[in-house]
Structure 1
Amino acid sequence: MLKRLFLTILVLAGLLIFTPLLLVQFGPAGWGTTSKLLVNMVFGYGDTLNASAVKQQLKVADGFQVSLYAKDLGKIRFLKVTDAGDLLVSRPNTGDVLLLEQDRNSDGVPDGQRILLGGLTRPHGLDIADGWLYVAESDGLGKIHFNSATGTVTGEYQRIVSGLGDKGNHWTKTVRASVDGWLYLSSGSTCNVCEEDDPQRASIMRLRSDGSELSVYASGLRNSVGFDWAPWDNSLYATDNGRDLLGDDIPPCELNKIDAGGFYGWPYVNASAADPDFGELNPAVAAKNIAPSYEFRAHNAPLGIRFLRHSGVAGFERTALVALHGSWNRSVPDGYKVVSLHWLADGRIVERDFLSGFLQGENLLGRPVDVAETRDGSIYISDDYSGSIYRVSAGDEKGIGLSATVLTASEAPEKESGLAVYSKEQRGSLFARGEIVFRGNACVACHSESPDDKSMAAPLVGLERRYSVKELSDFFTAPTPPMPVFPLSAEDREALAVYLLVRP
């Protein structure tokens, strides 16, 4: 209580002293948002969003719908979905990890919530591997036995790494378990720009599951809060926040492809440009800089990143979602949204808005932090400003299943279906087999075959404008709920796709 009172007095005094300076630096537009962020840092979180505001003010990418999944959760940060579909949420300020029970009754909100672990030191990153829940605290890393089926922990919480530096700026730690058997752990810098005394700061480290063999894996990463592996080649990518106080538009924030032993520039190089304050201090090290794979706009503050592995929406096959926390030091605020990064065949990465609308003029609604994906393709996004979690799923307000990703002819461009590769005989054979698969799995119980039949929510019309044979075949491996996953062979999935695309 005394600590909160002291911080309140300190911030109020600071506002009185620095308001004129902030107004000069940011202008009226920037100051409005900046002042809200300062108050948010002291008093907890901003205004709570309601379900209606989410529907009316947030905009999600075509083919998806968004809803408010949970609210009033406080200063939430990172997420982890369990094998049972429950959602774990870290809360550094209260030192605990929440468990939100899966929405099994389909009312759009968690079936319940409870504190899974408490008494932690600013917990942030979470991951589950081999029956263990790993928690990255600001000064160490711990683990405890976790039963995903029951959503419970057993035994004692074990600190496997202690003594990590957490003074100064960027104290959060993020942990992820990799398929290579190692744990990866990120740690931000102590400052805006400086030469660190502690080599573990401004780095991504690697260690064994028992805490042994801890070493710096990559360095020169000012604040890589989020990282994930691309599912097509297992390359490790990490977001990184660029330094402040160089103006509105420099330096860019970064997405880096992380290699063992790689150096990524900070504090000597920003992206590919020498830092104006530190660029000449260590030219030998600066020369080792690895340029980013992609540059975000300056001060957008990219945090959590998640490669989509279960999306049934066309165009999101080689895609990562990135939470942009938003700027605090631009004259015109920027960021405050979730973007999708698309890896194109020619190697380029293209950014598109995925979930936006959190900043509307001077009205700040939220600040996205992390992204998690479930096996059914649902996407959860945490917001530490309003204390909310949003659920994004494939479909529109009414559609379910296959119809959720179908656009009308006026909305969707014609696309190559892939049917041209089949001879007339092959197409006929696949059509016949596909019809057997369709009838044999009772698809008509949920899907109408007629566009005039309004009795069902998922008419199978217009698929040829949205899917190719391959895309529709892939969709059957992870369909949009409530459509179940049918145990179809690759041949049956191909035949069913052909049948649905060529039938009258």
Structure 2
Amino acid sequence: MKHLFSWGPAAALLLLAGCNQGQPKTDTPTNTPAQAVESPDSVAPSSAAAPQLPEPFATKSVTKRSHVIGWPAGKTPTVPAGFVVTEYAGNFNSPRWAYVTPNGDVLVAESNTIPTTTKKKIAAKLDLDPSKSLKETSANRITLLRDTNQDGKPDVRETFLSGLNQPLGMLVLGNYFYVANTDGVVRYAYKPGQTKITGPGQKILDLPAGGYNNHWTRNLLASADGSKIYVSVGSGSNVAEHGMENEQRRANILEINPDGTGEKIYASGLRNPVGMDWAPGTKTLWTAVNERDELGDDLVPDYMTSVQPGAFYGWPYAYFGPKEDPRRKGERPDLVQKTVVPDVALGSHTASLGLAFYSGKNFPAKYQNGAFIGQHGSWNRSEFSGYKVVFVPFSNGKPTGGMEDFVTGFVANPAEKEVYGRPVGVTAMPDGSLLVLDDAGNKVWRVAAQPGRGA
């Protein structure tokens, strides 16, 4: 490994292995987030058939981390015929999420995983993580981009807000700008069009910070009438190996009032729900979810699903419906039976994080009202999966097919485990284009339909 300096390969592998979670404890949890929810007595039918899944441990758990080499000059991702992809903006420090303000500004949250243990701190300091997920520090800022002449390239760039704590989700609601740090939701006084926030923030909601691997991210989404805010919180472990007392208010989508009061669990058992959006023309919330590791190459599929209020989606006791995880066998048969089957499988270990519905008219008809999902890419699989943006077609608010590739070309050389970058957040733009956040490549890509290709 070329980043080891005086460290040998064996030492580096030992260090990185130490960063992984151990085997789960066998203690029976005394509580679970689902106990705070009035779960439905029956499981609602899914709009898509569940995939055929292998048995747990049919293949051994494998660690295969990508080596990010960056984008060569002039190189871009690949898009289908009829589309063009260009660099919207570059020179970021881990651009992970984007939000479009009501006046059309693009806000980019720059943040990343930071080490919390001695082993991880050493790995970060010596640059031992070739996937570029783990760094010594996080930029902890939000950058504003403004395209004043509407040419598809921003000509104004400002630091909108800094001094944050691993920010991700952003939201403008009323006279406030909200940001979801890893440890809570903060709001600031905001006026449309301002390019910088200098006033103090008000923390309206405390959240459990950090989490398993990259589960430090917290996303925000407002209801259509602005009366509620939904907050996603990932799990603190792979499969509750530290006990359920460590998972309070985690693996959930929370619902709060705009002032932070009235918190309740909207849905639970969602291991790491990051992307959230409303299906066009409906009042149905959808989310993209990272599923668990260490059950083999093809378990468990990440998924996108409609979110039923009060429903339980399985974590950590079951997956993809009432399929019991053998590592939590016999602990909560009641919750196993109540586990809702997700709507669309997105492939195992794809790290499906971004989610954006396309309500524009510039893309061809098949893409309109459908969902785009950013897949950050695998580490727990013998062959790479993810590292692309996929598309799921929708009609009348329901999926009409499985996922298909949309933005690819992030993998440079599979044999050498080399990738150019790693897509994360996806954002639909008012001009009908789509932004793709590449946190490892430190770029924001713009995908647009070629003239005459729309509806």
Matched with 1:86 is 105
Residue 366 of structure 1: how far off its partner (Å): 1.2
8 Å CA contact 2:61–2:295 kept in 1: the answer is no
Residue 271 of structure 1: how far off its partner (Å): 0.9
Q: Distance in 2 between matches of 1:357 and 1:278?
A: 38
Is 134-143 or 228-237 further displaced after alignment? 228-237
Q: Secondary structure at the match of 1:69?
A: strand
Q: Distance in 2 between matches of 1:11 and 1:241?
A: 33
Change (3 A) 1:228 1:20: closer
* CA distances 1:62-115 after superposition (whole Å, capped 9, x unpaired): 332110111120111111012332210112211111112225273x53213221
Question: Does 1:143 find its partner at 2:187?
Answer: yes
Q: Distance in 2 between matches of 1:211 and 1:183?
A: 9
8 Å CA contact 2:274–2:289 kept in 1: the answer is yes
Structure 2: state its 5+ residue gaps.
20-58, 112-137
CA RMSD of aligned residues (A): 2.8
Matched with 2:248 is 199
Q: Distance in 2 between matches of 1:190 and 1:381?
A: 27
Q: Secondary structure at the match of 2:178?
A: strand
Change (3 A) 1:84 1:51: farther
| Paired residues, number | 376
Q: Distance in 1 between matches of 2:145 and 2:375?
A: 24
Q: Secondary structure at the match of 1:173?
A: coil
Letter in 1 for 2:139: T
Residue 118 of structure 1: how far off its partner (Å): 1.0
Letter in 1 for 2:254: M
8 Å CA contact 2:161–2:198 kept in 1: the answer is no
Residue 199 of structure 1: how far off its partner (Å): 2.9
* CA distances 1:36-59 after superposition (whole Å, capped 9, x unpaired): 2xxxxxxxxx444256201xxx22
Map 1:275-424 to 2 at 5 A: 275-312=325-362, 313-344=364-395, 348-362=400-414, 363-395=418-450, 400=451, 403-405=452-454
8 Å CA contact 2:211–2:235 kept in 1: the answer is no
Residue 347 of structure 1: how far off its partner (Å): 5.4
Letter in 1 for 2:218: K
- Select the residue among 57, 60, 75 that pairs with 1:53: 75
Q: Secondary structure at the match of 1:156?
A: coil
Matched with 1:73 is 92
Q: Distance in 2 between matches of 1:136 and 1:86?
A: 18
Matched with 2:164 is 120
| Larger RCO of the pair (alpha carbons < 8 Å, separation 6+) | 2
Q: Secondary structure at the match of 2:367?
A: coil
Matched with 1:215 is 264
Q: Distance in 1 between matches of 2:16 and 2:254?
A: 40
Structure number with higher helix proportion: 1
Matched with 1:261 is 310
Residue 285 of structure 1: how far off its partner (Å): 1.5
* CA distances 1:209-234 after superposition (whole Å, capped 9, x unpaired): 11110111110010001111101212
Change (3 A) 1:47 1:102: farther
Residue 167 of structure 1: how far off its partner (Å): 4.9
Q: Secondary structure at the match of 2:167?
A: coil
State the identity as a percent: 33
- Select the residue among 155, 163, 186 that pairs with 1:111: 155
- Select the residue among 162, 165, 176 that pairs with 2:221: 176
Change (3 A) 1:167 1:239: closer
Q: Distance in 2 between matches of 1:50 and 1:148?
A: 37
* CA distances 1:406-444 after superposition (whole Å, capped 9, x unpaired): xxxxxxxxxxxxxxxxxxxxxxxxxxxxxxxxxxxxxxx
Residue 168 of structure 1: how far off its partner (Å): 4.7
Change (3 A) 1:183 1:11: farther
Structure 1: state its 5+ residue gaps.
1-6, 37-45, 406-470, 472-504
Change (3 A) 1:119 1:18: closer
Q: Secondary structure at the match of 2:327?
A: coil
Residue 163 of structure 1: how far off its partner (Å): 4.7
8 Å CA contact 1:49–1:71 kept in 2: the answer is no
8 Å CA contact 1:344–1:350 kept in 2: the answer is no
- Select the residue among 4, 12, 19 that pairs with 1:15: 12
8 Å CA contact 2:211–2:234 kept in 1: the answer is no
8 Å CA contact 1:51–1:68 kept in 2: the answer is no
Change (3 A) 1:347 1:321: closer
Change (3 A) 1:19 1:139: closer
Residue 21 of structure 1: how far off its partner (Å): 11
8 Å CA contact 2:220–2:231 kept in 1: the answer is yes
Q: Distance in 2 between matches of 1:8 and 1:213?
A: 52
Residue 323 of structure 1: how far off its partner (Å): 0.3
